[in-house]
Amino acid sequence: MSKALYALTIHEALAGMRRGAFSAVELTQALLERIAQTDSQVKAYLTLTAELALEQAAAADARRAAGDDAPLLGIPMAIKDVLCTAGVRTTCGSRILENFTPPYTATAVRRLAEAGMVMLGKTNTDEFAMGSSTENSGYFTTHNPWDLERVPGGSSGGSGAAVAAQEALAALGTDTGGSVRLPAAYCGVVGLKPSYGRVSRYGLVAYGSSLDQVGVLAKDVRDAALILSVMAGHDDHDSTSMPAPVPDYAAALTGDVRGLRIGLPDEYFIAGVQPDVEAAVRQAINLLGEMGAEIVRVSLPNTEKALPVYYLVATAEASANLSRFDGVRYGFSAGAGSILENYRESRGQGFGAEVKRRIMLGTYVLSAGYYDAYYLKAQQVRTLIKQDFEAAFGQVDVIACPVAPTTAFRIGEKANDPLAMYLSDVFTITPNLAGMCGASVPCGFDAGGLPIGLQLMGPPLGEEVVLRTAHAYEQATTWHTHWAQPVAVGA
């Protein structure tokens, strides 16, 4: 075996363990050593669970010895710290949950664990998944493994950086407006946001309940498909999880895009897109055309309305969801005077600046006199955006566009300008508003050597065609074979 164990994909690692080349314990130890070597620079992990990981790896080896071959048996992964893990601290990147240990495990995590996953730890995130850079974490900022002075994207920046730095074979993230796809693009890995309702949200600490979805950050498309097959499907604990059957997503990876119709939306190739990002994305789409897909121009006329719709809808939902942090049942309590004073103080001290900003905006747009003008209006325009996509998916199978207007920006560059930060998500929020699925696939590097992501959007429950397109493109290129060197390995 030429590759280091930590550098394997999931499907390579499974093949190795099946033929007895190494054990899950050896694989897990290799990842823990890698983390020890690189994570002081990258800072992807909020909590490491090394001891637990080695126990789980030993259990996986015992299962394999007994003839078990579960789909993720012995695979070390990282979990975004907004997904509840029984007995393991879950902070949501917030000081208000600094000492919170959930009494139960999120369904998505539980399904991976039952399939044999080894959990290495919990990854950094913007506080309550609100942000595009991890700079809003209440703990520290994660660094992009390709350039430690730059952000990894967000809000699943810890998960993106962990996979890119090869500190986990894959990671779970969550995506409310781009929080899986943006870090995947900035970190040069594969990101998959399933359709709304495809994966249970039970145990995912809520941000925007009509938008949130659990997603995957992986080294290649095959790994993302494997993980989705394990965690998707209806869950009695989430009434918004779809009762649709779960296909074997890996079986969709035919490598063939002949006859597929790929939509090219004019509204996603606009002024303000970094020229080398646009060039790389157009080149990727041309390649898919050369491989036999039919490239069709489509129009999504309400695209420019998506960003304001998103931050009115998402913040309104957030203001309601975060009312549960009251200093009574769990989380930080200021221990101040009356019950009302204790609410104000616990929340005022416990939440960070961006979370308070979004609670304020959401409370304002829901308040008497403004509800119709802002919240209802946003939901009506959301209908128009959804109708744009329904019309487009009448003509095409997949829509291709950039993930973000630029590559990873410098830490601190947008920290004082919330609107500029929100604009990072301008191309990723529409799938959340319309309940669609979307993926980010590496499609090149900019002049400074930073990764660029190609976004592929599919209709609700269109994961198979999105994964098939992404995989065919990936296998026709070599971008997924390039890896960041966050520190001099072995130095």
Partner 1 sequence: MRLTIDEVRHVAELAKLRLSEAELALYAEQLSAILDHAESLQQVDTSQVAPTPYVLPLYNVMADDAPAPSLDNAVALANAPDKADGFFRVRAVFEE
Which CB, 65 or 340, lies closer to partner 1?
A: 340
Residue 424 engages partner 1 in binding (rule: CB under 8 A): no
* Residues 402 to 421 in contact with partner 1, rule: CB under 8 A: 418-419
Q: Which of 226, 307, 411, 454 binds partner 1 (CB under 8 A)?
A: 307
Q: Are 339 and 333 in contact (CB under 8 A)?
A: no
Residue 103 engages partner 1 in binding (rule: CB under 8 A): yes
Annotation says 80 is catalytic: yes
Q: Are 478 and 266 in contact (CB under 8 A)?
A: no
Q: How far is the CB of 357 from partner 1 (least distance, A)?
A: 6
Judge residue 149's burial from the number of C-beta atoms within 10 Å of its C-beta, 0-12 exposed, 13-18 middle, 19 or more buried. exposed
Structure tokens at 280: 């790389």
Of 43, 80, 193, 219, catalytic: 80
Which CB, 40 or 239, lies closer to partner 1?
A: 239
DSSP-derived secondary structure letter, 468 = H
Omega of the bond leading into 155 within 30 degrees of 0 (cis):
yes
Q: Which of 22, 269, 364, 483 binds partner 1 (CB under 8 A)?
A: 364
- Helical pair 221-231 and 107-114, crossing angle rounded to 10 deg: 110
Burial state string for 441-463 with b = 16 or more CB within 10 A and e = fewer than 16: bbbbbbeeebbbbbbbbbbbbbb
CA distance 299 to 301: 6
Which CB, 159 or 302, lies closer to partner 1?
A: 302
- Cα 200 to Cα 78, 153, 395, distances in angstroms: 18, 24, 30
Q: Which of 40, 99, 395, 485 binds partner 1 (CB under 8 A)?
A: 99
CA distance 344 to 88: 28
Query: Which among 47, 139, 124, 123 is positioned nearest to 352, based on CA atoms?
Result: 139
Instruction: Give the rounded distance of the alpha carbon of 391 from its chain centre.
Output: 27
Q: How many CA atoms lie within 13 A of 22 on its CB side?
A: 21
Which CB, 178 or 486, lies closer to partner 1?
A: 178
Instruction: Give the rounded distance of the alpha carbon of 1 from its chain centre.
Output: 31
CA distance 240 to 84: 18
Residue 153 engages partner 1 in binding (rule: CB under 8 A): no
Of 23, 132, 133, 155, catalytic: 155
Annotation says 386 is catalytic: no
Strands 170-175 and 76-80: parallel
Residue 330 engages partner 1 in binding (rule: CB under 8 A): yes
Question: Residue with structure tokens 């199978």?
Answer: 397
Residue 85's SS3 state is: strand
Which CB, 40 or 367, lies closer to partner 1?
A: 367
Residue 304 engages partner 1 in binding (rule: CB under 8 A): yes
Q: How far is the CB of 192 from partner 1 (least distance, A)?
A: 18
Which CB, 365 or 400, lies closer to partner 1?
A: 365
Annotation says 155 is catalytic: yes
Residue 104 engages partner 1 in binding (rule: CB under 8 A): yes
Query: Which among 465, 414, 5, 15 is positioned nearest to 182, based on CA atoms?
Result: 414
Q: How far is the CB of 334 from partner 1 (least distance, A)?
A: 9
Q: Which of 21, 251, 373, 489 binds partner 1 (CB under 8 A)?
A: 373
Site mask for partner 1 (CB under 8 A), range 430-449, x = bound? ---xxx--------------
Query: Which among 416, 420, 407, 397 is positioned nearest to 472, based on CA atoms?
Result: 397
Which CB, 31 or 433, lies closer to partner 1?
A: 433
What single-letter amino acid sits at 299?
A: S
Residue 283 engages partner 1 in binding (rule: CB under 8 A): no
Query: Which among 174, 251, 167 is positioned nearest to 216, based on CA atoms?
Result: 174
Q: How far is the CB of 102 from partner 1 (least distance, A)?
A: 8
Q: Which stretch binds partner 1 (CB under 8 A): 10-18, 328-336, 393-401, 468-476?
A: 328-336
Q: How far is the CB of 90 from partner 1 (least distance, A)?
A: 10
Q: Which stretch binds partner 1 (CB under 8 A): 152-160, 172-180, 251-259, 304-312?
A: 304-312
Site mask for partner 1 (CB under 8 A), range 169-198, x = bound? ---------------------------xx-
Q: How far is the CB of 329 from partner 1 (least distance, A)?
A: 6
Strands 170-175 and 118-123: unpaired
Which CB, 101 or 485, lies closer to partner 1?
A: 101
Q: How many residues bind partner 1 (CB under 8 A)?
A: 71
Q: Which stretch binds partner 1 (CB under 8 A): 66-74, 93-101, 285-293, 400-408?
A: 93-101
Of 179, 229, 424, 440, catalytic: 179
CA distance 177 to 424: 10
Residue 272 engages partner 1 in binding (rule: CB under 8 A): no
DSSP 159-196: HHHHHHTTSSSEEEEEESSSTTHHHHHHHTSEEEEPPT
Site mask for partner 1 (CB under 8 A), range 193-222, x = bound? ---xx------------x------------
* Residues 334 to 363 in contact with partner 1, rule: CB under 8 A: 335, 337-340, 342-345, 347-349, 351, 353, 356-357, 359-361, 363
CA distance 62 to 104: 25
* Residues noted as catalytic: 80, 155, 179
